[in-house]
A and B are shown apart, each in its own frame.
Chain A
Amino acid sequence: MIRLDNLTLTHGRRAAVHHVTGEFASGSLTAIVGPNGAGKSTLLRAIAGLHRPGGGSVAAPRQGIALLPQVAAVDRAFPVCCLDVVQFGHWARAGAFRAIRPAERARSVQALAAVGLEGFERRPVGSLSVGQFQRVLFARLLVQDAPVILLDEPFNALDARTIHDLLALVRRWHGEGRTVVAVLHDIALVEREFPETLLLAREAIAWGPTAEALSPANRLRARMMAEAWMDDAEACTRDAA
């Protein structure tokens, strides 16, 4: 279970997320939806422990969280091959120094096959398409085998076929009882696939079953909040207490 308690996240002095309270239940499958700049990625990074809260707190397990960064945040021109990338998924167990055991290596190869990239072990990541690269990162998530999986815009700029295949993995994780939280933009996909939704526009507009959270009234409110950011005040309007 991941609990947010009156969580406020800031970039410098500017608040990106205000006073969010709630929880991601164990085994839940939640989408985080909201306009650009709503603080979705920042919230995800805070759950992963990469962004220190400006106020309030995040109660999340210290270990066993796997994060899929936005593709844009990864250096795709970096000279490593697909298998190397997937092998990094063993980090939590192998650490910085221990050699990768043959069984672990075999699991990496299996993971690549599971995302439809059989025989890609030695291919440099620079030669992959965006979709193939995202498949490699999903293979790394498979190898990580973490109880909590955070996905930051996992389906951006992917074709229907790739999204279909990767969604099958997300469903499988949900079926295995893992907690999955994904930042998404495709409302239709969220309504179809994600039972829970957090609608975020710097504060939590709604958080609960997807049909309720994405009601027309809530979506309108989120849009109006986004338009108000143009002349955004730095100060927080609500009392922190």
Chain B
Amino acid sequence: MLDLLFGPFIEFGFLRRALVGCMALSLAAPPLGVFLMLRRMSLTADVLAHGILPGIAAGFLVAGLSVTAMSVGGLFAGLVVALGAGALSRATGGREDAALAALYLVALALGVTLISTRAGSVELSHLLFGSVLGVDDPALFMMAGVSSLTLLALAFAWRPLVLECFDPSFAAAAGARGGLWHLLFLGLVVLNVLAAFQALGTLMAVGLMMLPAVAARHWARSVGGMAYASVAIALFSSAAGLLLSYHLDLPSGPAIVLVAGGCWVVSLVAGPVDGLLARWLKRPHLAG
């Protein structure tokens, strides 16, 4: 049993690196996912993950599969999409989700087109689906750095972030400069999506951000509790996903996201807060 759980990580360096990288992601990204969920912006993370692709493609065209070049390009593209979508919906008076959907479809198509001009299907699938097992040193440093930065920022900006989500009018009237915190927050989301992209690819980068967050909603009644629960779920998903992928010979990125998805289903059914079972057991009193 112990060998099943620890053997692969002891034996193979690349699995250890993958585990460390995913754990770094798991510490920082899920709390951001909790805030995205509470702001009803769950889709925004997805849009950002696709939106960074043209930037990554540009980096790739200039310097090949270099972490630095692709990250700089992706950061730039992510910020443009994040700010552009907000500005666009304000300027046109349209709904933000419509503007976001349009932006991310264009970005995804543009990214794939750019990459295909230079690269074969191997590189393309590497960029789209990631390769957890191929995480190299620069990528690992980037994940760890982003994770540390995010945790520090969350620790310092917790109060304004919560207030901005809960009661934006009050925040603005109290001089909390909500826009500034929102910007910082979006910047952190872009950074985390970029870090996750190294391991999970652009299509599943938000898997470790949103699924644990959505699942955590069923385990806690406070923002802080949700953040802790989401981190725990993400850590578990990372380790379990990697083990599953090793033992059953599954692709590792999707395995991690699938385990996180399984956690979500379990939480939805068995979670104490608004879980289906809890609701079903607490039938209205006097009923049958």
Contacts and interface: CB of A to CB of B under 8 A. Distances in A.
Interface of A: 12, 45, 48-50, 63, 65-67, 69, 73-75, 78-81, 84-85, 88, 91-92, 96-97, 124, 126, 140, 144, 150
Contact of A67 (B157, B162, B173): B173
A63, A65, A84, A144: most-surrounded residue (chain B CB, <10 A)? A84
Contacts of A96: 156-157, 159-160, 176, 181
B20 interface: no
B220 A79 contact: yes
Interface of B: 38, 93, 156-157, 159-160, 162-163, 165-167, 169-176, 181, 220-223, 225-226
Contact of B169 (A12, A69, A79): A69
A72 B156 CA distance: 29
A124 B221 CA distance: 7
A7 B171 CA distance: 24
B170 A67 contact: yes
Contacts of B156: 96-97
A74 B163 CA distance: 11
B163 A75 contact: no
B173 A75 contact: no
Contacts, number: 77
A12, A48, A78, A144: most-surrounded residue (chain B CB, <10 A)? A78
24 contacts: A12-B93, A49-B173, A50-B172, A65-B173, A67-B169, A69-B169, A69-B170, A73-B169, A74-B169, A74-B170, A75-B166, A78-B38, A78-B223, A79-B38, A79-B223, A80-B162, A88-B159, A88-B167, A96-B176, A96-B181, A124-B222, A126-B221, A140-B170, A150-B173
Nearest to A47: B173
Contacts of A124: 221-222
B223 A74 contact: no
Contact of A81 (B38, B175, B222, B226): B222
A144 B165 CA distance: 19
A88 B171 CA distance: 9
A240 to B, nearest CB: 25
A63 B173 CA distance: 9
A80 B170 contact: no
Nearest to B38: A78
A126 B226 CA distance: 15
A74 B168 CA distance: 8
A48 B163 contact: no
B160 A85 contact: no
Nearest to B167: A74
B156, B170, B221, B222: most-surrounded residue (chain A CB, <10 A)? B170
A50 B173 contact: yes
B167 A75 contact: yes
Given A65-B173, A80-B223, 20 more contacts: A12-B93, A48-B173, A50-B172, A66-B173, A66-B174, A74-B166, A75-B165, A79-B222, A80-B162, A81-B221, A81-B222, A88-B159, A88-B167, A88-B170, A91-B171, A91-B174, A96-B160, A97-B159, A124-B221, A150-B173
